[in-house]
Chains A and B, each alone.
Chain A
Amino acid sequence: MQESEFSADHLDVLKELMNIAMGNATASIADLLQAFGTMHIPYISVSDMNGLKSFIEETIPSNQHYYVTKQLFGGMFGGEFIFVMTDKSAANLGNYLYDITTPEEEDILDAVIELTNILSATIISRLTEELNIKVQFFVPSTEVMSGNALIGVEETLNYHKIIIVSTQMVFQSQNVSGYIFILTKGEMIERLRTLIDQKLEELYA
């Protein structure tokens, strides 16, 4: 799959669908936090391993610690949903959700997983609903790591050609924010292109 095979129209469609999906997710998290979240314009790129590495280096400061939650999804379209949150932001989330000044590590982890579950389910479900397909979710896993370690994680970088879909979730008043990545590769990129082509055909019909 060459980058040129994904046209500007394909990327625009993906960006707009992601925008819609992110809007739904932000509203769900806003309900959970009883707060207002700021939406950001999604970044979409077709890249290779080095491109992903550079993007993560530019986006995620390496000198901080992060709660990184990963969830695979599969079906007619599949990939990996990754939510990255600084330890400070995660602590603020635990503090806010459990109303505890100094939340225990277990509480923070629980809060991060709950938030990620809502985010991944809402974003991926909405995204795939717009593409008229259904996907299955696998059990997520969360670990705490440094920014440097995130770049070095083998399975994250084990992609030959990937689509990076990235955006931010920001709840400023609660000091809670995070980075969202959706990575997909190989045959799934081809399937995604076909699904977007169908969407474009409907539009131009």
Chain B
Amino acid sequence: MKVLVVDDSKLARLSLIKTLKEYEPSAQIFEGENGAVGVELFKIEHPRIVFLDLTMPVMDGYEALKLIMEMDPKAQVVVVSADIQTQAQERVLQLGAKLMVPKPINSDKMLGVLQQLVF
């Protein structure tokens, strides 16, 4: 399974990947440090799941989500963000994200995501 992780923080990417590997050790991971890189990787790799941060330099998660959904309306994008405002959640779900998970992600949250989108 191809998985794309887009976050400007190396810590956040490492932490998410470590948690993901607990359940999907064979997952093929692609990493992007901003929305623009994430969109390019999505175009090339067509990952099954995208984990996307919102607050990033160059291109934020809202813009990246919009472009990804335009490329593939069936894309499975999970927004993982520190922005836990209700309006932020409403906005990303409206843009097409399947789920929004508050940071930091942990094993329980990851299991919930995978149960809904993969298992």
Contacts and interface: CB of A to CB of B under 8 A. Distances in A.
A171 to B, nearest CB: 11
Interface in B68-94: 81-88
Contacts of A24: 82, 84
Interface in A12-36: 12-13, 15-16, 19-24, 26-27, 30, 36
Interface in B44-60: 54-57
A22 B15 CA distance: 19
- Interface residue tally on B, bucketed by range: 20 to 34
A130 B11 CA distance: 13
B58 to A, nearest CB: 11
Interface string A24-55: 10110010000011011100000000000000
A165 B109 CA distance: 29
Contacts of B82: 19-24, 39
A40 B8 CA distance: 13
B18 interface: yes
B28 interface: no
B9 interface: yes
Interface string B81-119: 111111110000000000000111000000000000000
Interface string B15-49: 10010000000000000000000000000000000
A23 B103 contact: yes
A26 B12 contact: no
Contacts of B102: 23
A40 B9 CA distance: 14
B10 interface: yes
B1 interface: no
B109 to A, nearest CB: 13
Contacts of A22: 82
B85 A30 contact: yes
Nearest to A196: B11
A9 interface: yes
A203 B81 contact: no
B103 A41 contact: no
B37 to A, nearest CB: 16
A9 B14 CA distance: 11
B81 A23 contact: yes
Most buried by A among B12, B54, B82, B86: B82
9 contacts: A13-B11, A16-B9, A20-B104, A22-B82, A23-B81, A26-B85, A27-B83, A36-B85, A203-B18
Interface of B: 8-12, 14-15, 18, 54-57, 81-88, 102-104
